[in-house]
């Protein structure tokens, strides 16, 4: 363990987004402690596990060498959010397959939007086993950082993220208050059962629950 590095495992606690509820606070704490590079590793990437993209300066997606059929299974939303894609395990018998995967993704990225600061996402290969491609990945991160700073988008992105964080907390608080209000757990259970039995439409059930929540306490 190097003294200038700090590693803190944080279980997701079942929260969606691939990160824990307090990940943002931990990031701020690490920055306040003087760590100039903070790496956030998600518990996995799926359709809903992209919350980390709204809290970092650079969103890197790690991939494994895959054939055409497997490529179809990768979530499009994750690729669209990525600032760079890295195909890992580009070594040994998988080296050629990794390069083909990189080329496929590079072609896909060229058809996606450029970032607001003019950044074109890149697809790279790397081998953690052989320590190849790691320097190129880090240089890509530095290039992106330099572009953000030169365009003034770094501070703008941080402000956007702070606003998104605010509303995320508001939405979580509202959802918690909705479920914890006296009488609501029972009402929610009844409406869910009715919707599951198809004796009530989701629209009607949602309206009934909202009316109950906002009605004066009885």
Domain ranges of the chain: 23-152, 163-214
Q: What sign does the dihedral 106-107-111-112 (CA atoms) show?
A: negative
CA distances from 55 to 4, 50, 118, 128 (A): 23, 10, 20, 26
Q: pLDDT truncated to tens, each residue of the chain (218 aa)?
A: 677 777 776 655 555 444 666 788 888 888 898 988 999 888 665 544 567 788 899 999 888 897 554 555 555 667 778 899 999 999 999 999 999 999 988 888 887 766 666 889 999 999 999 999 999 999 999 999 999 999 988 999 899 989 988 998 899 899 999 999 999 999 999 999 999 999 999 999 999 999 999 987 65
pLDDT of residue 67: 55
Tokens of 34: 């003087």
CA within 13 Å, CB half, 135 = 3
pLDDT at 46: 55
Cα separation, 80 vs 114, in Å, equals 10
Neighbours of 216 (CB within 10 A): 4
117, two tokens:
């600061």
91 in Cβ contact with 51 (< 8 Å)? no
Per-residue confidence (pLDDT) for residue 117, from 0 to 100: 66
Q: Is 106 exposed, middle or buried (0-12, 13-18, 19+ CB in 10 A)?
A: middle
Q: Domain 23-152 in CATH: superfamily?
A: P-loop containing nucleotide triphosphate hydrolases (3.40.50.300)
CA distance 189 to 183: 10
* pLDDT at res. 142: 97
Q: Residues in the chain, how many?
A: 218
Return the axis-axis angle of helices 184-196 and 202-214, rounded to nearest 10°. 170
- Return the DSSP state at 188: H
Per-residue confidence (pLDDT) for residue 48, from 0 to 100: 47
Among 159, 136, 133, which Cα is nearest to 148's?
A: 159
Which residue is it, tokens 């941080």?
Answer: 158
């Amino acid at each position: 363990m190097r003294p200038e590095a700090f590693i803190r495992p944080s279980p997701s606690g079942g929260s969606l987004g691939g990160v824990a509820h307090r990940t943002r606070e931990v990031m701020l704490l690490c920055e306040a402690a003087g760590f100039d590079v903070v790496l956030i590793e998600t518990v996995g990437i799926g359709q809903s596990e992209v919350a980390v993209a709204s809290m970092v300066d650079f969103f890197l997606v790690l991939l494994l060498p895959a054939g055409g059929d497997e490529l179809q299974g990768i979530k499009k939303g994750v690729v669209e959010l990525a600032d760079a894609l890295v195909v890992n395990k580009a070594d040994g018998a998988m080296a050629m397959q990794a390069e083909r995967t990189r080329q496929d993704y590079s072609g896909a990225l060229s058809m996606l939007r450029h970032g607001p600061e003019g950044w074109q996402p890149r697809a790279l290969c790397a081998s953690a086993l052989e320590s190849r491609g790691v320097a190129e990945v880090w240089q890509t991160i530095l290039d992106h950082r330099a572009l953000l700073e030169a365009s003034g988008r770094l501070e703008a992105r941080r402000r956007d993220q702070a606003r998104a964080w605010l509303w995320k907390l508001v939405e979580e608080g509202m959802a918690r208050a909705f479920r914890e209000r006296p009488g609501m757990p029972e009402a929610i259970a009844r409406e869910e059962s009715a919707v599951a039995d198809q004796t009530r439409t989701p629209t009607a059930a949602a309206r009934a629950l909202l009316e109950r929540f906002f009605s004066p306490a009885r």
